[in-house]
Structure 1
Amino acid sequence: MQQGYMMLLLMVVLVVFMIIPQFRRQKQEKKFAQALKVGDKVITKSGMHGKIVQMADASCVIETLSGKIKFERSAISMEMSSKLNAPATEDKKKK
């Protein structure tokens, strides 16, 4: 009987620490992909830098130094426009 409770407790811990954070991460990635817009400077998951010049439902066209390339929205890793335009933090101001 006691082993049954331990297995149940183990399953609950597994769900809380592994499965729920994965769902949160997926939700954040989906929200990020939906928030992308034309003109954003981005980096793809493969490391390619560029600027979004055209958007479609599931894909976008990114202009790089070597030309225009079509990517899936899910292939974009991060958006750099907001980071480049962000005001300097206190640490950078002191230096």
Structure 2
Amino acid sequence: MFFLLAIILVFYFFMIRPQSKRQKEMRRFREGLKKGDKVITTGGIHGTVYEIGDNYVLMEVDKDVKIRIDKNALISNPGDIPQGR
């Protein structure tokens, strides 16, 4: 019985908890977006937030080129990604 409980606790702390923490961070990131923020989408498109709606973001990817994307497609701020060599 103790062994089963230990396995469940290990599973929780190494699998479930980190994932829920990551989801909270992403939710805070998306809720904290403001006009002018630089973002990256899940498809790798880099752009600047131009307008924010309830479930979408209008993102400027080049001068006078804007695309409307779902907020859930945003994954990060380019400044948060470590630079390679």
Same fold (TM over 0.5): yes
Q: 2:34 aligns with which of 6, 26, 37?
A: 37
Q: TM-score, normalised by structure 2?
A: 0.81
Report the equivalent of 2:82: none
Which sections of structure 1, spanning at least 5 residues, go unmatched? 84-95
* Corresponding residue pairs, total: 78
Higher-Rg member (1/2): 1
Q: Does 1:25 align with 2:43?
A: no
Aligned 1:73-92 pairs, distance under 5 A: 73-80=71-78, 83=79
Give the alignment's Cα RMSD to 1 decimal.
1.5
Which sections of structure 2, spanning at least 5 residues, go unmatched? 80-85
Q: Does 1:48 align with 2:45?
A: yes
| Alpha-carbon distance in structure 2 between the residues aligned to 1:16 and 1:70 | 37
Report the equivalent of 2:10: 13
Q: Does 1:61 align with 2:58?
A: yes
Higher helix proportion: 1
